[in-house]
Chains A and B, each alone.
Chain A
Amino acid sequence: MRTLAEAVNKLLGDRRDLALLVAGMPEPGIRAGLLVAYRRGTPVAVGKFAQADRRQTLRLQKEQDYLGMLWRGVPFPTVGAIPRAMGAGKYGADGRVALQSPARGTTLARWLAGRPRRWERVLDLGLGWLCRFQRWQQGLEGDERPRPVKVEEPSAALGLLAGAGVRLKGSILTAIVDCYRALPEGASQHGDFSPGSVVWAGGKKLWVLDWEGYGQTAQPLHDAFHFCTAGGLAALGMQWGSGNAELLLRLYFRSEAVSRLAGAGIRRVADTVGVSGSLYPHLVAYLTRRAARSLDFAREDGTVPYLQDWVAMLEAVLEQGRMVADGNRVS
């Protein structure tokens, strides 16, 4: 059996001069976190670790696999923008640690927090990267148009929510399924693309982290909506919480500077991935999937942080969508 430090040391070649910064273990029930390994003051690896939670350890392994897959393909035009997997190991009785190459800089979320004037720059950086990534993933050059990819079905996400005890009204379920039917072809997605997952060191160079949710058959605009939702709330100076539904409506259905910029940014990504027509079904599909994905973060006592917030947002958007049909802001 190994300690966490021993496991990291072994993955990095058994050197004795490592310093470990360990962070992000905020909740009593969650035994997972992040680490940075330094050698003589220089970060040599970033790691994620999880213990006593099979879903969390599986997520670590999935991210390693996805990073390996992404690095095996054609090199991404912005070299170094995706971290390189540096191996995974075990520690303790049931812990797992996975290392990847380190990123230098600050996250866009930290740079944006409480400073709405930076929202435009953050959108430009984040969604600009997303457009380049989507084209790279599909191997597109010049004016080449994107190819169709299979779209995810709603049944999986709705099944997970029902399994977790979330009861949606019949009319809401019908509306969700209708939205999915209206979706055009999909594209690959990062899965958790938010300003908190993007590290920026100035200029145009970005590092995009947190690839556990990567998928190649998914919703075309999931990443764009997630980036705008998470970033928009940060730009408005809001925390995740029970008031999110109202904020989301403010972001996508009202005419404010923050939401105008978000709408323009999403349309930019939509053009890149070849989506035309209403963006409203994409927003509904995104919220359904996020609600289902929040189940991955269930605590030991069975409660799921943010699940009800996501469901409330979904219901509020569907309600608003019915009222304004396709004349709403996101279409």
Chain B
Amino acid sequence: MMDLTQGWRCPQCGGELTQSGQYVLCSQHDKVAQAQGNLLVFGTQARPAQDLPPEEMAALCERAETAGWPAAMAELAERQPQVHEQVTDRRQANWLYAYPGPAGGQALEVDAAWGVVSQALADLFGSVYALAGTPEQACLLAARFAASAGKVKVAVAVFPQAPVARASLALVVMNGVLPGLAWERPERRPAQAHLACLRRAHELLRPGGWLYLAGENRCGYPAGADGLRLLPRGLADRVCRRGGEAAGNRGRTYSYWGYRRLLRQAGFARLLSYLPLPRWQAPEAMVPLWRAEPLDHHLTAFASLGGKAAWVRRVPLAPLRLAAVRLLAAHFGIFAQKGEG
């Protein structure tokens, strides 16, 4: 049987793993994962992805396993052109152009979904760990990266469970996944669950390594249908419970200052905040938000912030414009660096 443990470590202690039959063992923690086909499954599984209905996802998975990734994608393009566009849209990794760290080393993507970002990471980093939330996602990722000669390693694991060694990563990517991570830890309050995830990311990074965190702004304008996030946290919890969501309001987002406070609490030493435009999912521009001049330059030389945010140009002073964007931008992309010490 093929040794699936190569490159992976115990998610709890970072120790070496050995495979025994369908189980993966750690010298200190006994059974830490199960082998399912060619994949390792660590711990419990996440809620299934919403992009495709479960039966279609299973059929796509089977197609990818038997006929390969290109054939599965050709089929997806016919059946679900919108999902196919999402799977192949490399703009999702455009934030990487602003990545301030060096190339090389190891990178990890939390909830790698369809693997677009992991593929872009593979161009810059020596090896990439792609963590999938469900076996179906992992199966598709494995098919996608079958030709990468082991450069992209795929496993099923829900963060903060991450089967890699401590202080080993150059980059951890949490691209819009933070609110979802609180759902996986219902025993904790959302802010605590988020903080635990960020602390774990900090622990996995090598000194000087970077975390990329993209997320929506709690006070973002326009807030959209989800006015819930503007309510005080306790009230939002009560509204959710009354609406039948027993766990309360788990999909918590933060303000510009809220994200920064959370990252500081997690131990990050240096924060570089960007405004991804027009949306964090596929940025066409990354505007630095730690000085007023780049934002002004963007407004005059490149483009506006979009129709609904054209008011920003009418705010009279540059520092006020910057403060307004920090307060009301729809989303942020934040690079957070672990201290060198």
Binding site for B on A (CB under 8 A): 1-6, 19-26, 28, 31, 33-36, 38, 40-43, 49, 92-93, 105-107, 110, 199
Contact = CB atoms under 8 A, between A and B. Distances in A.
B208 to A, nearest CB: 12
B260 interface: no
Nearest first, the 8 closest Cβ-Cβ pairs linking A and B are A23-B285, A41-B293, A19-B288, A41-B291, A22-B97, A21-B294, A22-B286, A1-B103
B233 interface: no
B100 A5 contact: yes
B97 A33 contact: yes
A288 to B, nearest CB: 31
A210 B123 CA distance: 28
Contact of B285 (A19, A21, A199): A21
Given A6-B103, A23-B298, A92-B103, A31 B90 contact: yes
B287 interface: yes
A105 B300 contact: yes
B103 A21 contact: no
B285 A24 contact: yes
A92 B124 contact: yes
Contacts of A42: 293
Nearest to A20: B98
Contacts of B98: 4-5, 20, 22
Contacts of B272: 19
Interface residues of B, number: 35
B290 A19 contact: yes
Interface string B94-119: 10111111111000000000000000
Contacts, number: 100
B284 interface: yes
Contacts of B38: none
Contact of B91 (A2, A28, A105): A28
A28 B90 contact: yes
B303 interface: yes
Given A3-B96, A3-B102, A28-B91, 19 more contacts: A1-B104, A5-B101, A20-B98, A20-B100, A21-B286, A21-B294, A21-B297, A23-B286, A24-B285, A25-B97, A26-B284, A33-B97, A35-B97, A38-B297, A41-B291, A41-B292, A43-B293, A92-B123, A105-B300
Nearest to B126: A1
Contacts of A2: 102-103
B297 A36 contact: yes
B1 interface: no
A93 B123 contact: yes
B225 interface: no
B99 A25 contact: no
Contact of A106 (B102, B284, B292, B300): B300
Contacts of A31: 90
Interface string B71-100: 000000000000001001111001011111
A7 B298 CA distance: 22
Contacts of B297: 21, 36, 38, 43
22 contacts: A1-B104, A2-B102, A2-B103, A3-B96, A3-B101, A5-B99, A5-B100, A5-B101, A19-B272, A19-B294, A20-B288, A21-B285, A22-B97, A24-B284, A24-B285, A24-B302, A25-B284, A31-B90, A38-B293, A41-B291, A41-B294, A49-B97
Given A24-B284, A25-B284, A106 B301 contact: yes
A31 B116 CA distance: 14
Given A3-B102, A105-B300, A38 B291 contact: yes
B291 A19 contact: yes
Given A19-B290, A19-B291, A28 B99 contact: no
A106 B302 CA distance: 8
Nearest to A21: B294
A33 B285 CA distance: 9
B125 to A, nearest CB: 9
A3 B105 CA distance: 12
Nearest to B282: A28
A92 B104 CA distance: 10
Contacts of B102: 2-3, 6
A319 to B, nearest CB: 36
Contacts of A21: 285-288, 294, 297-298
A36 B294 contact: yes
A12 to B, nearest CB: 14
Interface in B294-326: 294, 297-298, 300-303
A40 B293 CA distance: 9
A34 B286 CA distance: 11
Contacts of A36: 294, 297, 301
Contacts of B292: 41
A6 B96 CA distance: 12
B301 A3 contact: no
A49 B101 CA distance: 18
